[in-house]
Amino acid sequence: DTGVSQDPRHKITKRGQNVTFRCDPISEHNRLYWYRQTLGQGPEFLTYFQNEAQLEKSRLLSDRFSAERPKGSFSTLEIQRTEQGDSAMYLCASSLGTGRYGYTFGSGTRLTVV
């Protein structure tokens, strides 16, 4: 499978715990994106990387959120001290270059904070 892989698919955590999600992009894609999608809404941009450099962060990405892409391949998104409002689908996508022809999304990680 050469698509975008996300792990885990589902995560249930207690409020206040830290969680980390992983994304493996399509291997030749140099750009990697994180989006968040809440129920009944479209995806909202969080951040993106070109290779290992984080080039842009949304205001949605509070101090409790951090994303890394240490070797320009896979990426991790960590949420510290989770809150119920963090419950959402976290989508990763990748593209070759600027993504002019659209991104390829993964299947997402569904986070539920209880």
Structure tokens at 59: 């205001």
Judged by CB, which is closer to other proteins: 45, or 74? Answer: 45
Judged by CB, which is closer to other proteins: 66, or 96? Answer: 96
Report whether 31 contacts 94 (CB < 8 A).
yes
Question: Site size for other proteins, by CB under 8 A?
Answer: 28
Question: What residue spans of the chain are helical by DSSP H?
Answer: none
Report whether 88 contacts 111 (CB < 8 A).
yes
Distance in Å, CB of 74 to other proteins, minimum: 17
Q: Let me know how long the chain is.
A: 114
Judged by CB, which is closer to other proteins: 3, or 16? Answer: 3
Residue 111 binds other proteins (CB under 8 A): no
